[in-house]
Amino acid sequence: MVRLLKLALVLVVVGVLAGVGVVAYYSRDLPDVATLRAYDPPQITRVVDRHGTVIGELYDERRTVIPIERIPRVMVLAMLASEDADFYRHPGVDYLGIARAVGRDLIAGRAAQGASTITQQVVKLLLLSPERTFSRKVRELILAYRVEAELSKDEILHLYLNHINFGQGRYGVQEAAQYYFGKNAENLTLAEASLLAGIPQAPARLNPRRHPEAARRRQLYVLGQLESKREAYWPDLSVEDVAAAREAEVQLVDLPEPGGSAPEVMALAREALRAQVDDAAYRRGGFTVHTSIDLPLQQATRAAVRGGLEAIDARHGYRGPLHAGRGANPTVDGALRLGRTYPGRVVSRDTQGAQLLVDVGGTQVSVALEDTARYNPSGLSAEAFAEEGARVQVSLLQLPSEDDDGPAPARLELGPEAAAVVIDPRTRDVLAVVGGYDDGAGFNRALQAVRQPGSTFKAFVYGLGIQSRRYTPATLVIDAPAVYDQWQPQNFETWRHRGPIRLRDALAGSVNVVAVRVIEELEPSAVAAFAARLGITTELDPSIALALGASGVRPIEMTNAYATFAAGGRWAPTRIVTRIEGPSGDLPLPAAEAPRDVMTPAEAYVLTSMLTSVVESGTAQRARALRRPAAGKTGTSNDACDAWFIGYTPTVVTGVWVGFDDRRPIGRNETGGRAALPIWLEIMRAAHDGPPVDFPMPSGVVSASIDPATGLLAYTGMEGARSEVFLEGTVPTEEARRPEVAAPDAYLLEQFGGNP
């Protein structure tokens, strides 16, 4: 007996020493549990519009950390019932739970039940790897004790409830509550909390969206645990509460429609955030990027762009069915590149895969029919959509690879593209920005495309003319054929010449010859400098062709230049990202360029008044359908490769550009007034509510009645006299002659040398 006691004592000592040795061995190089106090896991970065509505999210893990005070007691109880009822009683390791689990595993002949406490799960999630090995388990047990010594129970629970996976890439109770129920965690009911509490055991299998029956069974288990252990653990929880939760019908919130509504804004938000933080902080997230965007207007702008482009597609047949073409196969110079449009020929159609195989200069690429909805509104099959030999235009989504035997993916580019920018002229907040038809991230034509502005540039020519005091809206300029270095400007809108014409009417009718004569007198270099002061940063060719928009510009810069007119002549930089809110406070944004006065309010008003005539009686009369005072200018480049309309009211400025990326003509009879203006009109309708507001007349502007034929002051009682606005000091001093004194054309003969 004594021997047995001695043997037992020896075994105990050996066991203790072995245990101490194991603990000492596996305690080497363990993580410092004190780091848990600086809990800073990956969180969602949200990009919001001017009203705080979420535009989109950036994340590695979709998580929003909230304090334990915001987590309701029903969520805590449901999670304890599901995962660790003894949490507030054990020291980090539940030996009775381990014994029960081992016994059940032996009976089942497999690992049927886990035995990890919430503390152990926190250790596994935040301090160790998830591998299933003996050494990892020992380290987990050691660390669980240390965590309990370092943190309070509530602190441990805070870590756990913010870190665990609730399925569908949602981590933490706040994201789970939002994703499944569309509410904040503090507003969860017991029925909802018990449904969520069941998910972490197997997020893929117990997801209530994908597996509602399995999720319901797990919810009932959680509620059963709550009821059976209520008296021992949570006596304040009533049987009636549990019964009501069991009978309650839990409604999942509908998911939003897939697809980004503002990929252009998301790209700019990412760029702005990356410029302010390092890569680790960017990936960790937890920021809120505030923008100037008005999300409903952004969505309306994209809808208007799509509708306008689809109307052009319908007018010119830029859609299926596509018929076989004749002639030689299209060729491609040089290697294929991303961001370019190439001619191709359909060589085969995969009817099962709904794909077109297209030969592009000897390289085969594939086009998925599901990505061609714009050009296939009737939902034609691949065989019906395109005949073999049909000529198409495509752009590559991925470059061909030698390691990939299949054709590179591409997309059809049958119809033109568009860009639209909406600006508040008072603040220069960009309210909407659309860079193309697609809502996927890519080339943002609104900010990046450099295109010829056509006659929209005439506003700069006439604006400088007004500022120079050499011209007024009533100034007569002769519209007659002229040749400049073997170049003869034509009036493409009318194809005729009108003789002497007032500057206002020349702008309204987009008379090219008059614009050329004005820039010749002002000097093209002066107009280019004026455009630079208005914010045009692209290089402008200081030739007389600049009057007709022969140099490339960016849509956002052109739109903001017009916003300067609407703002009384004061230029300011546009802004989209207005604030970046970080976990520790706001981040500093780069200093913006200082505003500057380019025109006086009076000069800007006179130009605006002239631009209203474009809408009232000129090339943009379709804009009258807005039924409120508006000013603007159409623009069409040579061969109708670019179509523009930039217009504004006192509160909103919108610029629209339409054209092919490869600078093909848009189509026969397409002009700024036909291709771009309808898009502008739909956007502006969405941008306005309330009664119409007129452009306020500032000091320094005077009105006078003039003779429309001569631009001189109207004589008393003159029929057909018109009211005109002038800068102070520029009102005509001579009065038009009465009919009984001289023939109506006498003044014109005198002024223009007998050649009116």
Just list the catalytic residues.
83, 455
Distance CA 579, CA 591 (A): 12
Of 400, 395, 396, 397, nearest in space to 414 by CA: 395
Tokens of 455: 């006659």
Q: DSSP assignment, residue 395?
A: E
Distance set, CA 378 to CA 372, 385, 390, 391 (Å): 11, 9, 18, 20
Cα angle: 649, vertex 651, 656; to 5 degrees: 60
Distance CA 606, CA 567 (A): 13
Full DSSP string of 195-256: HHHTSTTSTTTS-TTT-HHHHHHHHHHHHHHHHHTHHHH-TTS-HHHHHHHHH--PPPPPPP
Tokens of 51: 């009203």
Beta-carbon contacts of residue 664 (< 8 Å; ≥ 6 apart): 641
Distance CA 159, CA 209 (A): 26
638: Cα within 13 Å, side-chain hemisphere: 9
Distance CA 315, CA 669 (A): 10
Do 478 and 497 form a contact (C-beta atoms < 8 A)? Answer: no
Distance CA 549, CA 482 (A): 18
Distance CA 290, CA 578 (A): 6
Distance CA 572, CA 736 (A): 42
Q: DSSP assignment, residue 487?
A: B
Work out the burial of residue 406: count CB atoms within 10 Å of its CB; fewer than 13 is exposed, 13-18 middle, 19 or more buried: exposed
- Is the bond preceding residue 321 a cis peptide, omega within 30 degrees? yes
Do 126 and 160 form a contact (C-beta atoms < 8 A)? Answer: no
Distance set, CA 638 to CA 38, 453, 491, 548 (Å): 63, 10, 12, 9
Distance CA 410, CA 415 (A): 15
Cα angle: 382, vertex 386, 392; to 5 degrees: 120
Tokens of 579: 């604030």
Pairing of strands 570-571, 596-597: antiparallel
Give 48's strand partners. Answer: 54, 290
Q: Is 348 helix (H, G, I), strand (E, B) or coil?
A: strand
Phi, psi of 342 (to 5 degrees): -125, 145
Cα angle: 147, vertex 120, 193; to 5 degrees: 110
Distance CA 525, CA 725 (A): 28
The residue assigned the tokens 């007998």 is 754
Of 282, 277, 288, 19, nearest in space to 142 by CA: 19
Distance CA 446, CA 305 (A): 12
Beta-carbon contacts of residue 137 (< 8 Å; ≥ 6 apart): none
Distance CA 602, CA 597 (A): 12
Distance CA 391, CA 352 (A): 22
Task: Report which residue type is found at 552.
Answer: G
Distance set, CA 13 to CA 6, 16, 261, 445 (Å): 10, 5, 69, 78
Tokens of 553: 């510009």
Measured in whole angstroms, how far is the alpha carbon of residue 299 from the centre of its chain?
Answer: 9
Phi, psi of 722 (to 5 degrees): -125, 150
